[in-house]
């Protein structure tokens, strides 16, 4: 079939990476590959775009061309979008706009070709990759797993800039386009066929042949594919102005709800999608390029790009060679954490045995997993037989059974050192293989003490999930003094496999996240005692960008847990973490929070709860009622001590670097992602400013807030 | 007694467990036969920690497999984490299907075909279906084939309301198509032949409940049971048999009306086995393999036997099968210290005792030189039987062996025999020896 194989751009004997490759087949068909065979990831760099342009221009000049099939370098990869390093490097709005205009016009060459262009898509087809595919006449998509289509640009604080907003809106109509572009949601082959991005979904092995057949079919009946007409609701919501306005209003409200107001990209994208319907194409494309240029230089975008790199970095921790495969796991402790972790393991293919003496807890664990599975089956995210396989992998029992084939023994029982030590010792006695990892989900006890006296203490590692484990994206992997590299690597790999971002933290009280959260919650409680309404404190922090105010958060955590953790940290760090009397008082009054049916708020989380009476009583007993503070003061008093604690952790070598601190607090506490993380935020304020503010607060009667030497040193530069 | 045996060819019962036995339509009604078997297989594997790749074959008894899981053994094995390379077969010998699974493993071992077997029996009698008969099936066939509206109307015109009458799998399954008798009627027949009065039957049923209740109280039954969370909602853990009636009285039993022969019969729901859901899983391997893995067997299989007889007298199956199993084991009747005979009906077990002790019956019907022997009621079904626990068809055979093995160990006895009568006119028996 193949008559010649020419890499476009510099000619080499072997196909070169980083550029597109054009092959001509006997019957006038051209196959354009977006990379060299064997190239695992295709991203659009300047170089690849230039070679794409050259290839398309060559096709324009070619006589006897019947049609073009565009596909990835090989199975499992189409194009993952623009190179994010390129996005990161743009610091000039005009340059960003020019690059967008340039890229859009290169993609436009596909449409200007007189012959049909058909995409053969397998693997990631994201961002700039999908924008290119949208410029084709037809898209044939493979059913291979890992095939995902979408425009996730808003997640990086930008909008699709190579024509994506315009083309997708015209192809799918307004509602579907908004749904995809404003959320950055990715679609699997079946979903992409349903919304209309994919014209055909075919078995992986037949992908190229199906694309070739589509080219010939189009060629036989009039060269280019006809423009697809919108039908039904999509037509109404796109062409009929009142309905369109209604849909746009709904989307606008959704984009602004919650913390959406801190992210400008979705709103810009919304306007661009509307432009696609109300402006001539060129004007729409021009607006899109301008929007991209303006957004790409915003601090929000830079912050999100940085976080993206941090998450990628965390995921790489899961790829270590030293990690041992985990096929079978024992989880002891059927509470919220143990059951949640066991369910996660079962979901990801680990045969897990959850053990607890409380039979009711075991049934709850199964029921909770089933509820989640039922929901996913109902939404067609999961087939019924797959759900059953997940449930089958979770065995629950009062008996441990044999540990001989266990790869991971994880305990999530009460926070009692003696109990945990005994569990680990028993596990070793009962024949746990020496290669198995002994993991603890403790949030407050020292790993080293747990490893004490064990045979092979180097395999004891902390895997600290956050509550609820199904939802919280962070896992602290705790390295004790004797913990081995393979144990840490296994824990990290497991966290990544479970869809979490791991950060490695040294064994110290509170580890990283709880330790940095403590001054925040302590100070919040103090503000409440000083006479600030919980609503006012929460409002100030929501306006700062936190996903939940501290008073609500305390209700979620539970005052019993807050009190206990607080005591541990106070014992370790003394005066700067003094236990706030509010915690114990709430526990005494039985207003633990959500778990007891209400704390500072009631069960609904929006109205005052039974804890207000406790608060009022404590206020009456206090002499120094400072009264309500201004929102800015609240932010300073809550966030700055957290920053200080962060720098202390850095100075103590608790985490490897600022990247881990940022990822940890963003994913673990919800530190606003648009800031880029605490260290980026602190530098934007100015570290000297943070130090000065803390000194002022310390002088004004909060001696515990004296800034650390670590922060002072960082401020001096 | 101490005949040496080849450890390579001696089958050892290494571990076993069962689900709680739940009356049909109660705690376990949401679990399919495969769900139940998956649970016991997973438990046996988890408890012993053996590498499932070493299993030569999975053999599971099931009396009424669901159409969705016709080879329920394979379904349960894969779901329990047995690797796909290990083959699995479902066996069916009606009430003895669970014992047949052990029997089949023993035959394979003797033939040198593998030395580790995961076996058991499972039955979800709650899920025995109502099916539509062939008449309605024909109608749908005709409809599917009809091409024109006219042909379709013609096909529809053949519909008769009688075609909607469902077939009840439970009832059909318990009726022997050759003799035309439902199982209860065969028991009535035995009661008449051997002169077993209603009072004796009720007394036997009461004893079954009392023994089972005592065994449950002292935790003896819990040793066999692996509790499970009941699908589909998993609201609670089911950890005990729910058919045992500790408060059962003779008066209450006497008040029950006969079910099969409403006017002149003796067999009531009180002195017959219960309709129940349950599964049993057993890990079997050669004695040599068990030793090399450092596993301590519960018991070893000393001999097996099965036999056929008049389907209308199927309840006497044990009397025909037991001598064969003893001959295979090289033991005499007097060597057997414990008996488990499945309690399909009180009348049937009592008939077995009478027939075994009857020189005439054993000579003329079984072909023995004289009476098989006296079965001491104190050594028979010492923890109760199917009248109290229930009879999940295919699970029972495996349960008898598990119970017998546990009991031999508990009482430090040497040999015991388990046997079942089988609908259709058969009996099966296995002799176990303390390991």
The rounded distance, in Å, linking the Cα atoms of B312 and B422 is 11
Are residues B98 and B63 in contact, defined by beta-carbon separation less than 8 angstroms? no
Nearest CA in chain A to B48: A402
Chain-chain contact of A397 with B227 (C-beta, under 8 angstroms): yes
The rounded distance, in Å, linking the Cα atoms of A565 and A516 is 12
On chain A, the residues whose CB falls within 8 A of the CB of B232 are 370
pTM of the full structure: 0.93
Q: Which residue has the tokens 């995409």?
A: A119
- B40 CB within 8 Å of a chain A CB: no
CA atoms lying within 13 Å on the CB side of residue A556: 14
pLDDT at A150 over 50: yes
The rounded distance, in Å, linking the Cα atoms of A554 and A550 is 6
Sign, Cα dihedral of B87, B92, B93, B94: positive
From A362, A370, A391, residue closest to B237, measured CB to CB: A362
| CB neighbour list of residue A236: distance below 8 Å, 6 or more residues apart | A243
Q: Give the number of A-B residue pairs with CB atoms closer than 8 Å.
A: 59
Are residues A515 and A509 in contact, defined by beta-carbon separation less than 8 angstroms? yes
Q: At B2, is the pLDDT very low, low, confident or very high (cuts 50, 70, 90)?
A: very low
Nearest CA in chain A to B80: A392
Q: Name the DSSP letter for residue A16.
A: P
Chain-chain contact of A405 with B235 (C-beta, under 8 angstroms): no
Pairing mode of beta strands B299-308, B11-18: antiparallel
Q: Which of residues 174-233 of B touch A (CB under 8 A)?
A: 226-227, 229, 231-233
Q: At B133, is the pLDDT very low, low, confident or very high (cuts 50, 70, 90)?
A: confident
From A367, A391, A405, residue closest to B49, measured CB to CB: A405
Chain-chain contact of B43 with A397 (C-beta, under 8 angstroms): yes
Chain-chain contact of B233 with A370 (C-beta, under 8 angstroms): yes
Farthest-apart Cα atoms in chain A, separation: 92
Q: Write out the catalytic residue numbers of B.
A: 95, 391, 421
On chain B, the residues whose CB falls within 8 A of the CB of A359 are 227, 237, 239
Chain-chain contact of B237 with A389 (C-beta, under 8 angstroms): no
Encoded tokens for B152: 């379709």
pLDDT score for A455 = 87
pLDDT score for B224 = 96
Task: Please state the rounded mean pLDDT for residues A343-362.
Answer: 97
Tens of pLDDT, residue by residue over A236-271, are 888 889 999 999 999 999 999 889 999 999 999 999
A interface test, pick of B78, B80, B82, B234 with most A CB neighbours within 10 Å: B234
The rounded distance, in Å, linking the Cα atoms of B76 and A694 is 64
Tens of pLDDT, residue by residue over A369-415, are 999 999 999 998 899 999 999 999 999 999 999 999 999 999 999 98
pLDDT at A65 over 70: yes
Q: Which residue has the tokens 């497999």?
A: B65
Are residues B415 and B434 in contact, defined by beta-carbon separation less than 8 angstroms? yes
Q: Which residue has the tokens 């008040």?
A: B255
Encoded tokens for B421: 């009568």
Are residues A60 and A109 in contact, defined by beta-carbon separation less than 8 angstroms? yes
Are residues A402 and B48 in contact, defined by beta-carbon separation less than 8 angstroms? yes
Chain-chain contact of A404 with B49 (C-beta, under 8 angstroms): yes
Encoded tokens for B124: 């979800």
pLDDT at B1 over 70: no
User: Distance, in angstroms, between A368 CA and closest chain B CA?
Assistant: 9
| CB neighbour list of residue B178: distance below 8 Å, 6 or more residues apart | B311, B424, B425
Exposure class string for B12-35: b at 16+ Cβ within 10 A, else e: bbbbbbbbbbbbbeebbbbbbbbb
On chain B, the residues whose CB falls within 8 A of the CB of A431 are 49
Q: At A2, is the pLDDT very low, low, confident or very high (cuts 50, 70, 90)?
A: very low
Encoded tokens for B262: 């409403």
Chain-chain contact of A392 with B226 (C-beta, under 8 angstroms): no
The rounded distance, in Å, linking the Cα atoms of A707 and A701 is 14
Query: If 0-12 CB within 10 Å is exposed, 13-18 middle and 19+ buried, where does residue A467 land?
Result: middle
Nearest CA in chain A to B49: A402
Task: Please state the rounded mean pLDDT for residues B369-374.
Answer: 96
pLDDT at A713 over 70: yes
List Cα–Cα distances, B64 to B29, B91, B394, in angstroms.
15, 11, 8
The rounded distance, in Å, linking the Cα atoms of A340 and A366 is 10
Encoded tokens for B366: 């079984």
Encoded tokens for A649: 């952790």
Encoded tokens for A626: 């400072």
From B42, B49, B234, residue closest to A367, measured CB to CB: B234
User: Distance, in angstroms, between B238 CA and closest chain A CA?
Assistant: 9
Encoded tokens for B331: 């033991």
User: Distance, in angstroms, between A497 CA and closest chain B CA?
Assistant: 20
Tens of pLDDT, residue by residue over B320-346, are 999 999 999 999 999 999 999 999 999
- B293 CB within 8 Å of a chain A CB: no
pLDDT score for B435 = 87
| CB neighbour list of residue B62: distance below 8 Å, 6 or more residues apart | B33, B37, B72, B73, B90, B91, B92, B97, B121, B122, B123, B394
Mean pLDDT, chain A, rounded, equals: 93
Encoded tokens for A25: 């087949």
Q: Which residue has the tokens 């230089």?
A: A297
Q: At B169, is the pLDDT very low, low, confident or very high (cuts 50, 70, 90)?
A: confident
* φ, ψ (nearest 5 deg) of residue A449: -65, -35
Are residues A67 and A32 in contact, defined by beta-carbon separation less than 8 angstroms? no
The rounded distance, in Å, linking the Cα atoms of A518 and A444 is 12
Chain-chain contact of B227 with A359 (C-beta, under 8 angstroms): yes
- B78 CB within 8 Å of a chain A CB: no
CA atoms lying within 13 Å on the CB side of residue A549: 23
Encoded tokens for A43: 């991203």
The rounded distance, in Å, linking the Cα atoms of B198 and A480 is 73
User: Distance, in angstroms, between A408 CA and closest chain B CA?
Assistant: 14
Tens of pLDDT, residue by residue over A538-555, are 999 999 999 999 999 999
Angle at A52 between CA A50 and CA A53, to 5 degrees: 65
Are residues A369 and A391 in contact, defined by beta-carbon separation less than 8 angstroms? yes
- Strand boundaries in A169-281, DSSP class E: 186-187, 200-202
The rounded distance, in Å, linking the Cα atoms of A463 and A504 is 9
pLDDT score for A17 = 87
Nearest CA in chain A to B223: A399
Q: Name the DSSP letter for residue B274.
A: P
Tens of pLDDT, residue by residue over A520-531, are 999 999 999 999
pLDDT score for B4 = 59
Q: Residue A691, preceding bond cis, omega within 30 degrees? A: no
Q: Name the DSSP letter for residue A676.
A: T
Spell out the long-range contacts of A455-460 with Cβ–Cβ below 8 A and sequence spacing 24 or more.
Answer: A455/A428, A456/A428, A457/A482, A458/A482, A458/A483, A458/A484, A458/A487, A459/A434, A459/A483, A459/A484, A459/A486, A459/A487, A460/A424, A460/A487
DSSP per-residue letters across B297-310:
-SEEEEEEEEEE--
pLDDT at B40 over 80: yes
Are residues A47 and A19 in contact, defined by beta-carbon separation less than 8 angstroms? yes
Mean pLDDT, chain B, rounded, equals: 95
- Partnered with residue B278 across adjacent β-strands are B123
Q: At A11, is the pLDDT very low, low, confident or very high (cuts 50, 70, 90)?
A: very low
B interface test, pick of A397, A400, A409, A431 with most B CB neighbours within 10 Å: A397
User: Distance, in angstroms, between B126 CA and closest chain A CA?
Assistant: 20
On chain A, the residues whose CB falls within 8 A of the CB of B231 are 370, 391
**A452: left (phi > 0), else alpha (psi -120 to 50), else beta?**
beta
The rounded distance, in Å, linking the Cα atoms of A534 and A557 is 15
Q: Name the DSSP letter for residue B26.
A: S
User: Distance, in angstroms, between B46 CA and closest chain A CA?
Assistant: 6
The rounded distance, in Å, linking the Cα atoms of B209 and B197 is 19
Encoded tokens for A103: 């890229």
Are residues A509 and A415 in contact, defined by beta-carbon separation less than 8 angstroms? no
From B38, B49, B229, residue closest to A366, measured CB to CB: B229
- B46 CB within 8 Å of a chain A CB: yes
Name the nearest CA neighbour of A683 among A262, A307, A304, A299: A299
The rounded distance, in Å, linking the Cα atoms of A51 and A19 is 6
Query: If 0-12 CB within 10 Å is exposed, 13-18 middle and 19+ buried, where does residue B318 land?
Result: buried
List Cα–Cα distances, A184 to A64, A188, A215, A313, in angstroms.
40, 13, 30, 21
pLDDT score for A622 = 84
């Amino acid at each position: 079939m193949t008559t010649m194989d020419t890499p476009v751009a510099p000619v080499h004997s072997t196909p070169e990476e980083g550029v597109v490759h054009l092959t001509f087949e006997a019957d006038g068909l051209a196959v354009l590959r977006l990379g060299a065979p064997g190239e695992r990831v295709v991203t659009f760099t300047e170089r690849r775009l230039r070679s794409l342009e050259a290839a398309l221009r060559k096709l324009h000049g070619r006589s006897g061309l019947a049609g073009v099939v565009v596909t990835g370098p090989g199975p499992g990869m189409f194009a993952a979008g623009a190179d994010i390093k390129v996005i990161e490097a743009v610091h000039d709005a005009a340059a960003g706009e020019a690059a967008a205009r340039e890229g859009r016009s290169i993609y436009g060459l596909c449409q200007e070709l007189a012959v049909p262009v058909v995409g053969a898509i397998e693997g990631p087809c994201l961002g700039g990759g999908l924008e290119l595919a949208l410029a084709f006449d037809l898209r044939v998509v493979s059913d291979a797993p890992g095939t995902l289509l979408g425009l996730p640009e808003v997640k990086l604080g930008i909008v699709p800039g190579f024509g994506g907003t315009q083309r997708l809106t015209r192809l799918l109509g307004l509602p579907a386009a908004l749904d995809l572009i404003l959320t950055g949601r990715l679609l699997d082959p079946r979903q992409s066929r349903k919304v209309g991005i994919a014209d055909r979904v075919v078995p992986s092995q037949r992908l190229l042949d199906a694309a070739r057949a589509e080219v010939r079919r189009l060629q036989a009946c009039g060269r280019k594919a006809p423009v697809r007409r919108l039908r039904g609701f999509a037509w109404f919501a796109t062409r009929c102005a009142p309905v369109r306005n209604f849909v746009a209003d709904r989307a606008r409200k959704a984009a602004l709800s919650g913390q959406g107001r801190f992210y400008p990209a979705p709103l810009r994208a919304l306007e661009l999608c509307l432009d696609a319907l109300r402006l001539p194409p060129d004007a729409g494309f021009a607006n899109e390029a301008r929007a991209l240029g303006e957004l790409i230089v915003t601090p929000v975008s830079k912050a999100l790009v940085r976080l993206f790199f941090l998450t990628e970095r965390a995921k790489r921790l899961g790829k270590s060679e030293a990690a041992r495969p985990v096929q079978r796991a024992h989880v002891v402790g059927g509470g919220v954490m143990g059951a949640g972790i066991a369910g996660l393991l079962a979901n990801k293919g680990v045969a897990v045995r959850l053990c607890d003496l409380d039979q009711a807890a075991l049934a709850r664990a199964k029921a909770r997993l089933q509820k989640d599975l039922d929901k996913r089956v109902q939404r067609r995210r999961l087939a019924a037989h797959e759900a059953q396989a997940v449930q089958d992998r979770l065995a629950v029992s009062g008996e441990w059974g044999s540990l001989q084939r266990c790869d991971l023994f994880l305990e999530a029982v009460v926070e009692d050192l003696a109990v945990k030590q005994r569990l680990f010792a028993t596990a070793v006695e009962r024949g746990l293989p020496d290669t198995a990892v002994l993991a603890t989900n403790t949030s407050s006890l020292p790993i080293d003490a747990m490893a004490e006296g064990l045979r092979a203490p180097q395999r004891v590692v902390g895997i600290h999930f956050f509550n609820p484990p199904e939802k919280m994206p962070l896992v602290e992997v705790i390295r004790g003094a004797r913990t081995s590299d393979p144990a840490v690597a296994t824990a990290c790999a497991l966290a990544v496999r479970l869809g979490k971002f791991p950060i490695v933290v040294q064994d110290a009280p509170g580890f990283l996240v709880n330790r940095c959260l403590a001054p925040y919650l302590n100070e919040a409680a103090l503000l409440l005692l000083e006479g600030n309404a919980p609503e006012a404190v929460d409002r100030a922090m929501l306006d700062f960008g936190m996903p939940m105010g501290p008073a609500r958060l305390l209700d979620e955590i539970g005052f019993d847990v807050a009190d206990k953790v607080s005591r541990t940290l106070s014992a370790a760090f003394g005066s700067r973490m003094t236990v706030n009397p509010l915690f114990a008082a709430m526990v005494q009054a039985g207003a633990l929070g959500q778990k007891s049916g209400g704390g500072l708020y009631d069960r609904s989380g929006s109205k005052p709860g039974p804890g207000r009476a406790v608060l009022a009583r404590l206020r009456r007993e206090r002499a120094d009622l400072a009264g309500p503070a201004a929102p800015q003061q609240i932010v300073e008093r809550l966030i700055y001590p957290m920053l200080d604690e962060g720098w202390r952790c850095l100075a103590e070598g608790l985490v490897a670097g600022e990247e881990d601190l940022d990822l940890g607090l963003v994913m673990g506490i919800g530190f606003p992602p648009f800031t880029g993380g605490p260290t980026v935020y602190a530098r934007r304020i100015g570290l000297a400013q943070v130090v000065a503010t803390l000194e002022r607060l310390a002088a004004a009667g909060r001696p515990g807030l004296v800034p650390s030497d670590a922060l002072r040193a960082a401020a001096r530069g | 007694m101490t005949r040496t045996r080849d450890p390579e060819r001696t089958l050892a019962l290494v571990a076993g467990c069962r689900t709680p036995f739940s009356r049909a339509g109660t705690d376990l009604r949401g679990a399919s036969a495969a769900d139940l078997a998956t649970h016991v297989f997973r438990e046996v594997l988890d408890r012993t920690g053996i590498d499932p790749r070493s299993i030569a074959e999975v053999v599971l008894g099931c009396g009424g497999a669901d159409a969705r899981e016709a080879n329920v053994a394979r379904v349960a094995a894969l779901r329990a984490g047995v690797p796909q390379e290990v083959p699995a077969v479902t066996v069916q010998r009606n009430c003895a299907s669970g014992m047949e699974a052990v029997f089949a493993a023993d035959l394979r071992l003797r033939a040198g075909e593998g030395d580790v077997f995961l076996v058991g029996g499972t039955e979800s009698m709650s899920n025995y279906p109502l099916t539509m008969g062939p008449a309605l099936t024909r109608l749908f066939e005709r409809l599917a084939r009809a091409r024109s509206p006219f042909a379709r109307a013609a096909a529809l015109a053949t519909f008769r309301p009688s075609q909607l009458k469902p077939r009840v799998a439970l009832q059909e399954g318990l009726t022997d198509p050759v003799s035309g008798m439902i199982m209860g009627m065969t028991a009535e027949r035995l009661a008449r032949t051997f002169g077993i009065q209603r009072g004796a039957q009720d007394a036997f049923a009461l004893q079954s409940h009392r023994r089972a209740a005592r065994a449950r109280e002292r935790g003896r039954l819990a040793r066999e049971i692996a509790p499970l969370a009941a699908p589909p909602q998993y609201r609670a853990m089911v950890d005990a048999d729910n058919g045992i009636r500790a408060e059962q009285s003779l008066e209450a039993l006497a008040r029950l009306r006969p079910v099969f022969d409403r006017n002149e019969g003796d067999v009531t729901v009180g002195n017959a086995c219960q309709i129940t859901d349950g599964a049993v899983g057993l890990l079997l391997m050669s004695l040599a393999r068990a030793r090399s893995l450092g596993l301590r067997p519960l018991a070893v299989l000393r001999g097996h036997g099965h036999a056929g007889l008049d389907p209308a007298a199927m309840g006497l199956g044990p009397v025909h099968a037991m001598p064969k199993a003893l001959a295979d084991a090289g033991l005499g009747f007097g060597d057997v210290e414990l008996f488990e005979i499945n309690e399909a009906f009180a009348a049937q077990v009592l008939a077995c005792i009478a027939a075994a002790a009857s020189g005439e019956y054993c000579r003329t019907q079984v072909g023995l030189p004289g009476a098989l022997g006296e079965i001491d009621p104190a050594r028979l079904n010492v923890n109760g039987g199917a009248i109290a626990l229930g009879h999940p068809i295919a699970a029972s055979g495996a349960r008898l062996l598990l119970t017998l093995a546990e009991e031999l160990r508990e009482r430090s006895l040497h040999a015991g025999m388990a046997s079942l009568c089988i609908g259709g006119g058969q009996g099966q028996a296995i002799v176990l020896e303390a390991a």
